[in-house]
């Protein structure tokens, strides 16, 4: 077994946050509760630090990390009106 590979399957989630200024933020994590807590503590992404508080709008089910990164990249290229639907299709 390669170190760290045993539990890698289906651990990652793509999530979409609504910021206080009504913008959306998309990211990936393997611990959604901890990640949202970090965002709201001002220790998350630079984008969300000045747009607190944030609330979870949607999250995918568990994905392989590579699949989560691909989905995140695709979602970030979409207009806001389509982002929530894209994440919800994966939940």
- Contact at 8 Å (CB) between 75 and 17? no
Check residue 71 and give its pLDDT: 93
- Tell which residue, 58, 36, 59, has the closest CA to residue 48: 36
pTM of the shown model: 0.83
Give the Cα separation of 41 and 4 in Å (integer): 28
- Contact at 8 Å (CB) between 24 and 83? yes
pLDDT digits over 43-66, tens only? Answer: 999 999 999 999 999 999 889 999
Check residue 91 and give its pLDDT: 59
pLDDT at residue 21 tops 70: yes
User: Mean pLDDT in the chain?
Assistant: 88
Phi, psi of 83, rounded to the nearest 5 degrees: -65, -45
Residue 34 three-state SS: helix
Catalogue all structural domains in the chain, each as residue range(s) with its CATH number: 13-89 (3.40.1440.10)
Residue 3 pLDDT class (50, 70, 90 cuts)? very low
């Amino acid at each position: 077994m390669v170190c760290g590979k045993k539990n890698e399957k289906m651990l990652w989630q793509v999530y979409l946050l609504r910021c206080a200024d009504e913008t959306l933020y998309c990211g990936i994590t393997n611990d959604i509760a901890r990640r949202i807590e970090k965002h709201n503590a001002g220790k998350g992404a630079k984008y969300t630090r000045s747009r607190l508080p944030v609330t979870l709008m949607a999250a995918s089910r568990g994905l392989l990390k590579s699949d989560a990164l691909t989905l995140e990249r695709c979602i970030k290229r979409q207009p806001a009106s389509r982002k929530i639907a894209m994440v919800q299709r994966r939940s």
